[in-house]
Amino acid sequence: MSNGKYDVVVVGGGPGGYVAAIRAAQLGGKVALVEAADLGGTCTNWGCIPTKALLRSVECLVEARRAREFGVILGSIDFSLEVIVKRKDDVVSKLRDGIKYLLDSYGVSLIRGRGRLKNPNTVVVSGADGSKTEVEGKSIILATGSKTRLIPILGLSDVDVMTNEHDALSPKKIPESLLIIGGGPEGVEFATIYSNLGSKVVLVEMMSTLLPLEDEEMGVRLERALSAFGVSVYTKSVVKSVRAKDGAVEAVISSDGGETRVSVERVLLAAGHVPNVEGLGLDEVGVAYTKKGITVNERMETSVKGIYAVGDVVTVSLAHVASEQGVVAAENAMGLNSTYDGRVVPRCIYTMPEVAAVGLTTQQAREQKINFVSGRFPLTASGRALTLGETEGVVKVLAEKESKRIIGVHIFGPRASDLIPEAALAMKMGATLSDVAKTIHPHPTLSEAFKEAVLDALGEAIHLARRGRQRS
């Protein structure tokens, strides 16, 4: 058993861990990063990046199918699943190699293996070859991420289930039919991918709308969009049981209206993730945690001084949240005084059209009894959306009625993920409706829709017909 001493030891090389390692090194620290699998974690290898690479191929396919609308005459339109998957793998590999290059450039020591706390300053790393290495750090940052949440469905363990870690991102063939369990971001993205590649998709969500954590209107609009791609959506429903039958999978879907039986070729589980807290030695060292993740304060420090935790192991969230928390933890580990502010976090779902949001949903504002006004602008009235041929969508803005401070923005439409940062910056700066209304937006762009929604909340929308309005 060998021994190494560092200023900071980071356990986990995902978007929280590798960012923390780089930031600590930038501040002059001697840093070690412990990782058993591929660098980049779930985001780079099994989540954000590979799904977006697949979605880009699907976008090209859909655009080719629509080309005649724009006066472009193409020959036969088909796709190569092998090339689509290979391109996805190439993108993932390039980013993974890029992370390694960055770590090397900052002198971060990469230690391969699975890390476990021995005490508040020591991590024991178990290598794939059975070796044990003790690594000492003045501070330790835990960034072990999350794993697919398994749900208790009768018979599920007896069928071959697809997940983002297994099969779903690298299919050998597109199943003729597919049952997707879970209508959150992961489920709706896979529904978009597989339905456009030829699967007859059945999507089941237990809550009343898809994307249940987002604004209800966005979930309703997305259900309509997915239905147009041929997806059969069941909300307020659960998969009661599954079983292999005659070379297929028979599933029983329980809804308010009774039970429905469907027969599909494959089942894809997309019911969310749970924190990777097992095997970290948390109990032995005294690090407090719950089933939702490791408990931390605003400095990302755990109940044990000098041990920090970031990302999905704290609370399953978003890659950019993990990275920001990683920066905060690293700065505190290196003697600075930083705090994490999660009040303004943009959220993006990469369907067709996309969904993006920041701040409160309409239902949250009502639950909190906030007196608010709202404004919306349909993309059917957007010149840029018309030129793109993508007019399905809306921008919705919520603001406090008295102060006019923006408290929530929701976008359903093309490139929503590229539009939401402006809204996030506005909220971070405490902007009011007037601040955005007085900001000149270029024409013709999709970004004008944000300004028009703001103007609508003020009762001053230029490109909406005059009408009676309701302010909440």
Annotated catalytic residues are: 443
Q: Cα separation of 236 and 384, whole Å?
A: 36
Query: ω before 353 within 30° of 0 (cis)?
Result: yes
DSSP one-letter code for 108: P
**What's the gap between Cα 316 and its chain centre?**
10
**What's the gap between Cα 10 and its chain centre?**
23
Which stretches of 350-405 are assigned E, i.e. beta strand?
354-359, 372-378, 394-400
What's the token pair of residue 144? 């072990």
H/E stretch holding 99? helix 81-105
Neighbour tally for 90: CB within 10 Å: 11
Q: How many angstroms separate the Cα of 378 from the Cα of each of 324, 407, 430, 432? A: 33, 20, 25, 21
Which stretches of 196-326 are assigned E, i.e. beta strand?
200-204, 232-234, 237-245, 248-255, 258-264, 266-269, 273-275, 289-290, 293-294, 307-309
What's the token pair of residue 82? 């092998």
Which residues sit opposite 239 in a β-bridge?
Answer: 253
What's the token pair of residue 99? 């992370």
Under 8 Å between Cβ of 254 and 234: no
